[in-house]
Structure 1
Amino acid sequence: MKDPQTIIQTIRLTEKATMLGETNNEYVFVVHPKANKLEIKQAVEKHFGKKVESVRTANYAGKARRERRADYGRTNHWKKAVVRLKEGERLDLV
């Protein structure tokens, strides 16, 4: 699981993530659930060419969903990574 495209799945562009990017130079990514902080750091540095200061992660359980039947399905479990870049580094996302 060393390929950056498999580790970093997508970027989260929410209001909170935008505020983190503007104030703290932090960016929020959806990453592979089995990726650790070191792999996430290396993937961001290789994919974007920026230096990473720190990485925070959080695991989220999938929610139970029901659609017109009695049995329940479930959305996928996912992992979020908040990556802080070093001073002077920026990501142009939009």
Structure 2
Amino acid sequence: MNQQRLMQVLLAPQISEKATYIADKNGQIIFRVIADASKPEVKAAVELLFKVVVKSVQIANIKGKQKRFGRGTGVRRNWKKAYVNLMPGQEINFVDGGAA
């Protein structure tokens, strides 16, 4: 896979109460990824950027919500998130900026 492409696959970690709960319970980390990312690309990107070993990846497509803007209505963008399951003993610490 092209290393330049892998650097663009991950957009941001998803930080929320649900993401923290999933990280504690299942050892999974949630990332926002680009719309056309595949599981092997996400796995390779996480391993390249954070120097960890990835066990598995699950991907979910999130539909954009309908929202009102004044009198009119609009739709937020669809986006994709990836649940990354690391091997036991592996950890990503975002506070220090990388692998622990």
TM-score higher than 0.5 here? yes
Helix, strand or coil: the match of 2:93? coil
Give the superposed CA RMSD: 1.5
Shift in Å at residue 50 of structure 1?
A: 0.5
More strand by share: 2
Using structure 1 for the length normalisation, give the TM-score: 0.89
Question: Between Structure 1 and Structure 2, how many residues are aligned?
Answer: 93
Instruction: Give 1:58's aligned residue.
Output: 60
- List per-residue Cα deviations over 1:33-58 (Å, max 9, x = no partner): 11010000000000111100000011
What amino acid maps onto 1:59 in structure 2? N
**Percent identical:** 37
What amino acid maps onto 2:51 in structure 1? G
CA distance in 1, matches of 2:7, 2:76: 22
Instruction: Give 1:92's aligned residue.
Output: 93
Unaligned runs of 5+ in 1: none
Using structure 2 for the length normalisation, give the TM-score: 0.84
Unaligned runs of 5+ in 2: 96-100
Question: Quick check: 28-37 or 59-68, which moved more?
Answer: 59-68
